[in-house]
Amino acid sequence: MLVAARVATAITLWSDSWYLVSDRILVGLPTAALPLIAALALPSRTAAARVAAQTAAIGVLISAYLSWVPTDPHTRTVSVAVIVFLLAGTAAAAAGLLRWRARPSRSARLPWLSALTAIGLIAAVGSLYSPGQAPAAAAAHAGHGTDISTLTGPQQGAPDVRFTLTAAHGTVRLSSGRQVDALTFNGTAPGPTLHVRQGRLVEVTLINTDITEGVTLHWHGVDVPNAEDGVPGLTQDAVPPGGRFVYRFVPTRAGTFWYHSHRDSQDTVARGLFGAFLVDPATGAVPASDSETVVFAHQWPIGKELIGALDTADTPTRQPVEPARPVRLRLINSSQDPQRMQITGTTYRVIAIDGNAVNQPGPLPDGGMLLLAAGGRYDVTFDMPAAPVVVSMHTSESKETPTRALVPAGHDEAPLPAPTGTGPTFDAAHYGTPDATPAAAPANRTFDLVLDNGFGVTDGTLTWANTVNGHLWPAIPNLTVTLGDTVRMRITNRGIIDHPMHLHGHRIRVLSRNGTTVDGSPWWTDTLNVAPGESYEITFTADNPGIWMDHCHNFKHAADGMVWHLSYTGIAAPAHSSHTGE
């Protein structure tokens, strides 16, 4: 019955994608099914049938273990060899026990095979506690090449714009009156919006007043030099209370980005250490402040609850807008879960994804849904109609639906359209029109990442984990590239949880999803939500030397070990580096 259920499940998943079931079909099912078929085919009550039955039982147990403890697809040959050895050993032990028990012996009646199976299980679970691969970036690169501390932005010359962000404890009051034990930048959460010009030198001084765990600044989506990336234990030390750190860099692309601390991100970002970083084109007029609105989709921790809010508004709010004025909504998801956003009351266009312009974006329907990856951004535009437009955030974590109503000026009491939380979902793979961007160049470096759920060990504790190729940090293999490489990567989610994958220092181009080619505007992104059952093929150019974090932007998943590195040859990590980045 177990094997039949496994076969049915595998066939169902295979209809979606071969990559979801390749290990099940090639390894897991044969391990369980072949010994079972042999046991059923042999005449019952014979010695051979009894040996086959014992072997079949162990085969089902091994197959179940493989389902609960993900393995690295790249070690499939080794796994098969170990399985064959175990099954052959089981058959030999069972046959030997039968011969032994044919003679009168009290010791022969002891459950030897069960004891061996228990010992094997204990050894298999114990192997999860092995240290695995040492932190790859440190092991492979410490002391061998250019130190990443030298990969800074321009250190000479006066900056074109200068900011100071002071991190401190504070209190945030939500629109409902609920209070958050918050962490703030310059006394506010979200922190102040930093508005800059493309191609201009930016200087930001970070000061930590009293946050004991330390603070850094990561410029999410901005391809800064490696030493400016704000990853504690890798590109810098976390700034302690009373300390400061100066970041200097030149943003090379216009768009909607954001900044956040990368130290204890699961806690510190949720409590408020984040803000918007907006880069305007190098030339042209800066958009009027009343024609664009930054909206953070955030979940604030209050006790054991996560309270969904648009910025700090967890209840319906209204914002006046002049009729017929072009409106630009910069939607940013600063929470650790994907958020379902709905725009009700007008048609609209998505003009940018993660700061990357969409070519010839078409109109999207009134009431359509936008699935916003954790850390992701959508720029949405429309002309303000004569009736209200409602932006709503729909999350299963919150009992209430936070909304922001854009209301024609002078019509403050106009009735609002009711968001339903249902509607056609925006699909970036088939949106917009192809442009003159060349087709993806042939790759000279390829990687295959399989995301899964299963038992693993993190911080010395056995846990139900989110794994990459069967591993957790620090055993996830380092991805090594050389400057100028064209890299192609396949990311497959065989688990049951969304994973927003974020590569620091680079933007990626999505080529296909579940084998279907992206046929709209070129889809550039830096935070790709890979849902259960999805397989994406992506490409990027290795054009920013350093040792870069690559991780799930669900901060809990990252903190639990869903973190690894993209390292350039010839680049050295600091010898003291811990490389966790969280």
Say what the pLDDT of residue 140 is.
Answer: 44
Q: Are 489 and 537 in contact (CB under 8 A)?
A: yes
Q: CA 93 to CA 54: how far, in whole Å? A: 10
Of 382, 400, 426, the last residue of a domain is: 426
Co-location of 116 and 81 in the same domain: yes
Pairing of strands 292-302, 326-333: parallel
Is residue 17, in this structure, part of any structural domain at all?
yes
Is residue 579, in this structure, part of any structural domain at all?
no
Co-location of 368 and 495 in the same domain: no
Co-location of 278 and 291 in the same domain: no
Q: What is the mean pLDDT of residues 444-464?
A: 84
Q: CA 273 to CA 260: how far, in whole Å? A: 6
Q: Are 513 and 554 in contact (CB under 8 A)?
A: no
Mean pLDDT of the chain: 88
Q: What is the mean pLDDT of residues 439-448?
A: 90
Co-location of 310 and 239 in the same domain: no
Co-location of 420 and 488 in the same domain: no
Is residue 312, in this structure, part of any structural domain at all?
yes
Co-location of 295 and 357 in the same domain: yes
Range of the domain at 488: 137-152+436-572
Co-location of 373 and 407 in the same domain: yes
Co-location of 371 and 299 in the same domain: yes
**Three-state DSSP state, 146:** strand
CATH number at residue 228: 2.60.40.420
Q: What is the mean pLDDT of residues 490-499?
A: 92
Q: What is the mean pLDDT of residues 56-73?
A: 81
3-state DSSP helix/strand/coil % of the chain, to nearest 5 = 25, 35, 40
Q: What is the mean pLDDT of residues 512-520?
A: 93
Angle of CA points 332, 563, 461, to nearest 5°: 120
Is residue 374, in this structure, part of any structural domain at all?
yes
Is omega for the bond preceding 474 within 30 degrees of 0, making it cis?
yes
Say what the pLDDT of residue 235 is.
Answer: 94
Co-location of 483 and 363 in the same domain: no
Residue in the structure block whose two tokens are 């999505």: 510
Predicted TM-score (pTM) of this structure: 0.89
Co-location of 146 and 176 in the same domain: no
Co-location of 447 and 495 in the same domain: yes
Is residue 262, in this structure, part of any structural domain at all?
yes
Is residue 142, in this structure, part of any structural domain at all?
yes
Q: How confident is the model at residue 141 (pLDDT cuts 50, 70, 90)?
A: very low
Say what the pLDDT of residue 475 is.
Answer: 82
Is residue 580, in this structure, part of any structural domain at all?
no
Q: Are 361 and 431 in contact (CB under 8 A)?
A: yes
Burial of 504 (0-12, 13-18, 19+ CB in 10 A): buried
Is residue 111, in this structure, part of any structural domain at all?
yes
Concatenated DSSP letters of 242-307: T-EEEEEE---S-EEEEEE--SSHHHHTTTT-EEEEEEE-SSSPPPPGGGEEEEEEEEEEETTEEE
Of 282, 300, 331, the last residue of a domain is: 282
Say what the pLDDT of residue 196 is.
Answer: 96
457 alpha-carbon distance from chain centroid: 19
Say what the pLDDT of residue 135 is.
Answer: 44
Q: Are 306 and 299 in contact (CB under 8 A)?
A: yes
Could you give the number of structural domains in the chain? 4
Question: pLDDT tens for residues 218-273?
Answer: 999 999 999 999 999 999 999 999 999 999 999 999 999 999 999 999 999 999 99
Question: pLDDT tens for residues 107-136?
Answer: 777 777 788 778 877 777 776 666 544 444
